[in-house]
Structure 1
Amino acid sequence: MSRQGVQGKVVVVTGAARGVGELLARKLAARGARLALVGLEPDELERVAASLEGDAECWTADVTDRQTMARVAGEVLARFGRIDVVVANAGVATGGPFLDADPDAFDRVIHVNLLGSIATARAFLPALVASRGYLLQIASLAAMTPAPMMAAYCASKSGVEAFAHSLRAEVGHQGVAVGVGYLSWTDTDMVRGADEDDVLRELRARLPWPTNRTYPLEPAVERIAAGIERRSSHVYAQWWLRGMQSVRGYLPAFIGGPLGRREMRRAAPALARGATVRRGLVGKGGAADESARAAEHHVP
């Protein structure tokens, strides 16, 4: 598929304050795109916007808030005159056994990753129809394969993958392209936060190669930027993820069968010792999400 480029195009990136979103904004700005950055951390968003090449502005918003996202979409359209690309990247994660998870954190992963992506599409899709634009939904290896102690994240990413595939079928005749971006474990605050949990870190290290590695951020985001230029239906941040598509149908039986049972038996003593640990959202992004919600509800 030939590259159409992003020179002069208006690109919206959610979750743009750090990690994949921040670096993607930098790469697209360097290619000549005009950036609308959306996220929960106003100071970080302003720092990113001020450091980008070319035209950029930021909006503070919770992607799960439909009314706020609709307002932001209207303001972005008024500011830039059009919207050509939307990257639904905002996401949070929690880990650990389902019954030990903080219920609010578990639900928040579903709300942000799945319902937040749906709210993003609902807000921006009319503008993309007008521009015959492109929506990229950031999913994960977690959409292809289940994993123990990652129920919320796997469920949310499987959901956004299915949502994007369904949406592609609906809006293709209107000139809108919809893509799904897949990343394995990539060096971000979220992954580093998950690795602070000894059990999760050891469990991940015991996964089969190449799923047990942490991959550098820059080449992963470079692949995503190239996929946006091509308006690709599938974007793979690590080369081997493409091959996972052909075997994904076998993975639930394997992961949920002998491999999963073996690893959970191995982890059981450590999990028992930490049974009283609150398993909330991981990483700096998770902390920012919790802080923003606490401030909104005036929780000290």
Structure 2
Amino acid sequence: MKIVLVCVVGILLYSSQAQSALWTITYPRPLDDSDTRSQYPIALLKLALDKTGVNYELRPSDRILLTGKAMRQLRENREVNVVWSMTDSQREKDLTAIRIPIAKGLIGLRVFVINEDKKAKFNGIQSLSEMRKLVPVQGEEWPDTKILQANGFNVFTVPEFREAYDMIQQGKGDFFPRSVIEVHGELESEGNGNGLYLEESLALYYPTAMYYFVSSSNKILANLIETGLNRAIEDGSFDALFESTYAPILDALNMDSRTIFPLENPLLPLETPLANRKLWYTDAIKRSDVTQP
């Protein structure tokens, strides 16, 4: 009886503290106003926090932080207290991952930015073995790089994503695999009149998730965000935001007509909730399952 009473008191104290406190939540500042990649994660984070009823202030960090630096600062509880990024085993070891894939796995669905002069290289590709003859460009610290290497690709690496666009523009490397949730906004800012081209018929898919991460010492914030996300899933507002954001993009990319090659992801933690189908965008997953290497 005493144990039950202590637990109840603890829950009430936690709830009271969470509701009354002003939570200052700092995320990595985008590169600039043209960097649209953070718009959906910020909107979803606001939605989740609103569902909890807490008082909060959501603001960008004082300086620009690329993903690798942001993760290191988060681990040390400096500058930021939430980061959204693609998961891997090391990141989940170093930080607390809120295991609800915020983009329903679309971060692993990749289309290709190429140089217009290299269009012919992609004509008639029908197998993953043919894809492996081409050189992808990726970031040095990205999990994607290790995933591509594990699947037999010879990857050309650069420090950050805008340098990858420069490499493609200069004809170095053959393609820059970009998530379907990233590519349109990036091409609008990076691709005007500089020879970049979105390949029209192919895609790669590997199972992965983009999560919100917090410091391992910040369990209350993790619980707040997870509670808010689950409430948004239950009342349908999560799916409504996802559909309004990404359904037009998927239509514009003609995903239904692309050949999607599946890759294995050796970095995927065992705790990834793949069995919970309501957390994933299943169309691409089903289609990639039947496309043979």
Q: TM exceeds 0.5?
A: no
Which one has a bigger Cα radius of gyration? 2
TM-score between the two structures when normalised by the length of structure 1: 0.29
**In proportion to residue count, which structure has more helix?**
1
Query: TM-score, normalized by length of structure 2?
Result: 0.30
